[in-house]
Structure 1
Amino acid sequence: MSMLIRTEQSSDHEEVYRLNYMAFGNRENESRLIEKIRSSEGFIPELSLVAIEGDQLVGHALFSKAKLVGEETTREVIVLAPIAVAPGCQRRGIGSALIREGLGRCKAWGAELVFLIGHPEYYPKFGFQAARRLGFDLKQFQVPDEVFLVCQLEEGQTPMRGELRYPDSFFG
């Protein structure tokens, strides 16, 4: 069956909520996070992606704005969170397709950096690297160095370094 990756529409919201609820072990944290991000300044509609097979929504990825705070300046960056694939559809390339499409859209949107907290064995195939080793910091979440990752979208450029700050929509 062929898969379509497209921009999320408002008619998808309920199904995206259910998908994330099921994909994250029947807990609502990620589904509620998506709702908070959608109603925040950090939401970029064209960077909320869904994967469709037939008439079924089988995946969702949300890329949104965050800030990188340096010594002298603050810059907008992108964070990927959450990403989910329907439990019966995992390990078929749906998540990979969502990430590749999302990174391409982030680059076209003008983003230089995309950050995430995720599995260090999975994300490097998309260009993600350990962020702290590259001079980035994260203080809002206490996570091991190997799961705090960054993808530099413009090869050869030396991006600004600093502390990643997730927006308020990620808390509370």
Structure 2
Amino acid sequence: MNKEATGGCACGAIRYRCRDRPIVELICHCRDCQRASGGASAAVLLIASDRVIFEGADQAFHAVTTASGNRLSRGFCPACGSPVSARWEGDSIYSKLQALYAGSLDDPSTFSPTVEDWVSRAYPWHTFHPDTLKFGERPTPQAVRDRIVAYFAARQPSSG
């Protein structure tokens, strides 16, 4: 994905722009993502929350407890129902992230996943991306969490 990306909902009431590259791009096969996306999986980009600017209508949110036990609020357009984003609740490293659905990008062809998680819950008829690291359930810390931690550590002002 280019350094800046734009997207929004199907009716155009919600728009966003990203001022940074995604930290992680992944495909999640958990049952919650299947339901939220209406498909076999959810393709998402994880971006620092302060690097995403939303414009237009406010999103409506539905909070769920995920298979991993985390609270996640999924954002969608109240007018057209399109899924747009998701955010984690609490004060973990994940709460500093904004997840954007790849389908909400103006140019979804820029999505380039490196990880697939919860493949143990994938439908038997679903094929996997050939170039991703695959995890039966949650990814190892090195696949996702360590990338997020390193990203935020690199953004800290150097102490002199």
Mark yes or no: TM-score above 0.5.
no
Which of the pair has the greater relative contact order for Cα pairs under 8 Å at 6+ separation? Answer: 2
Q: Which protein has the bigger helix share?
A: 1
Q: Give TM-score, length-normalised by structure 1.
A: 0.26
